[in-house]
Structure 1
Amino acid sequence: MVILDRLPTKDRLARFGLLVDNVCGLCGAGMESRDHLFDDCSFARGVWGAVLNAHGPSFMARAWDERLHWLLSNLRGKTLRVRALKLLWTGFPYLIWEERNHRYHRNLIRSIDVIVNRLLEEVSTEKQGTCKFPCSAIFPGSLSMIYSFYDLAINACLDGQ
């Protein structure tokens, strides 16, 4: 949904004719769109920056397409590092979207550190085979299946270009 820009972000809801304020609920500084929410938003940048600091690469994309291109170029192979980065990338939009929804619907606000720690913890438990990430309930087994969906989605995007 994220890669295909199909999430019901505020900019899309406004295009459907719904009256919504367009302000990002995570940073309060931009219009909520897929590109803003996962790239331009200071909250999301803080999360992704901390994740990259914890796992080595120092690349920070300036735009959604740039990040997607970087992922396509660098997340190849089956090394433990690549597997961990795929899991982190798959969990990142999930947790950002979850945080957005918690703020809108539950009035629950978590810090960047809480999100980063949860993401890193889930990748760590996935390596041990005991992942409890909510996606595991949707896709029985583990997050390993999730990043195979990541690969399918990326290939679908490439076929469409």
Structure 2
Amino acid sequence: ADDGCLLCGSDIESPIHLFGECCFAKQVWYCSFLQVDIARVRGQTFIDWWHHLIRPWSNLDNRDWLIRVAVFILWQIWKARNNKRFNNVVGCLLATAQLAHHLAAEYTDVLN
């Protein structure tokens, strides 16, 4: 089985690579509602990386919303990866970011 990243062609596809180092993911994060420069987020493990990502939001009133959008971005990057693997379809950066935001908003509406 090929262990390389399907989205950018890198030799290795680890969780940190897929969600933070892959050029597709970097661009999705930056063009998203969050406008995160994901290259600045570091961590030895995925959990460390995640905590580093959300730490700047810890004292913000809209912290839960920002984290929710981030979770949906992760999910949409994962779905783009799987769409490439199983359907050989290359995802659109902007559509991936916009869908994550839309789904986070829809989820929030359901909660309320």
Q: TM-score, normalised by structure 1?
A: 0.56
Supply the distance in 2 between the matched residues of 1:59 and 1:34 (Cα, whole angstroms).
14
CA positional deviation for 1:69: 3.4
Residue 88 in structure 1 maps to residue 69 in structure 2:
yes
Contact 1:39 1:61 (8 Å CA) reproduced: no
Q: State the one-letter code of the partner of 2:75.
A: Y
Supply the distance in 2 between the matched residues of 1:59 and 1:36 (Cα, whole angstroms).
11
Change (3 A) 1:30 1:63: farther
Unaligned runs of 5+ in 2: none
Coordinate RMSD, CA, aligned: 2.7
2:55 alignment partner in structure 1: 73
1:45 alignment partner in structure 2: 26
1:6 alignment partner in structure 2: none
CA positional deviation for 1:93: 1.7
1:26 alignment partner in structure 2: 7
Supply the distance in 2 between the matched residues of 1:49 and 1:56 (Cα, whole angstroms).
4
1:135-154 superposed matches below 5 A: none
CA positional deviation for 1:58: 5.8
1:104 alignment partner in structure 2: 85
Unaligned runs of 5+ in 1: 1-19, 131-141, 145-161
Change (3 A) 1:63 1:121: same
Higher relative contact order by CA 8 Å / sep ≥ 6: 1 or 2? Answer: 2
Larger radius of gyration between Structure 1 and Structure 2 = 1
Residue 63 in structure 1 maps to residue 63 in structure 2:
no
Supply the distance in 2 between the matched residues of 1:46 and 1:58 (Cα, whole angstroms).
9
Deviation digits for residues 75-94 of structure 1 (CA, Å, limit 9, x no counterpart):
43572x21221111111221
Supply the distance in 2 between the matched residues of 1:104 and 1:59 (Cα, whole angstroms).
24
The aligned length equals 109
